């Protein structure tokens, strides 16, 4: 395992949508951390891809994330649990030529888990932001994280990702990123 690098990273946000978020046991933590990671990735010019599970019924990505990101973000509607069942998204991720996928979203044990396993099958180094993931129940959330770790994903937190990306307080964006967590 290697430490996260801005140049090698891609962020994949899974289904952080209104109705799904409202049903999670850890709604406020998930919402806050998801916004921080999205904003940090935008500041650091890390590519961001966002999936939305059946948005007509479940709503769109929450405004906090939409307002935190730049305009180059790509959105993908899906109905499959794994985001990589979408061949277009799969090919877009491949084209980015990144080796580290930073992933988070809803539900940890379903869509995040199945997408993580597909990414692992494609030989990516997968890093799951645990404090930006959620499920309806804490038991399912914990089981999902455990399963992904057992399958080879790295379970990290928002601050681990931020400070691994920065490497040093001398980074030109340090103050801007640090202000996200104050």
Answer for the pair 66, 35: CB distance below 8 angstroms, yes or no: no
**Which residues are CB-contacts of 19 (< 8 A; sequence separation ≥ 6)?**
57, 58, 59
pLDDT of 138 over the 80 cut: yes
For residue 15, indicate whether it is catalytic: yes
Considering only 9-18, 54-63, 69-78, 104-113, which range has the smallest mean pLDDT?
A: 69-78
Q: Of the listed 39, 111, 131, 133, which one is catalytic?
A: 111
Residue 182 pLDDT level (bands cut at 50, 70, 90): confident
Average pLDDT, stretch 30-53? 97
Average pLDDT, stretch 30-57? 96
CATH numbers and ranges of domains, the chain: 6-181 (3.40.50.850)
For residue 133, indicate whether it is catalytic: no
Task: Using alpha carbons, select from 114, 11, 25 the residue that is nearest to residue 68.
Answer: 11
pLDDT tens sequence across 58-100: 999 999 999 999 878 989 999 999 999 989 999 999 999 999 9
Residue 2 pLDDT: 81
Q: Of the listed 33, 78, 131, 133, which one is catalytic?
A: 78
For every residue of 16-51, DSSP letters joined together read -BHHHHHT-TTHHHHHHHHHHHHHHHHHTT--EEEE
């Amino acid at each position: 395992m290697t430490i996260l690098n801005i140049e090698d990273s891609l962020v994949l946000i899974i289904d952080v949508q209104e109705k799904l978020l409202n049903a999670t046991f850890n709604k406020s933590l998930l919402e806050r951390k998801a916004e921080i990671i999205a904003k940090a990735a935008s500041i650091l010019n890390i590519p961001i891809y966002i999936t939305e599970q059946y948005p007509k019924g479940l709503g769109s990505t929450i405004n906090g994330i939409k307002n935190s990101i730049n305009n180059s973000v790509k959105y993908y509607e899906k109905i499959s649990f794994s985001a990589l069942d979408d061949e277009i998204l799969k090919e877009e991720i491949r084209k980015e030529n990144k080796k580290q996928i930073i992933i988070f979203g809803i539900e940890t044990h379903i869509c995040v888990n199945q997408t993580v396993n597909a990414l692992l099958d494609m030989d990516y180094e997968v890093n799951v932001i645990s404090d930006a993931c959620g499920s309806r129940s804490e038991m399912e959330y914990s089981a999902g994280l455990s399963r992904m770790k057992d399958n080879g994903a790295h379970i990290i937190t928002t601050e681990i990702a931020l400070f691994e990306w920065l490497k040093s307080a001398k980074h030109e964006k340090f103050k801007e990123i640090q202000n996200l967590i104050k």
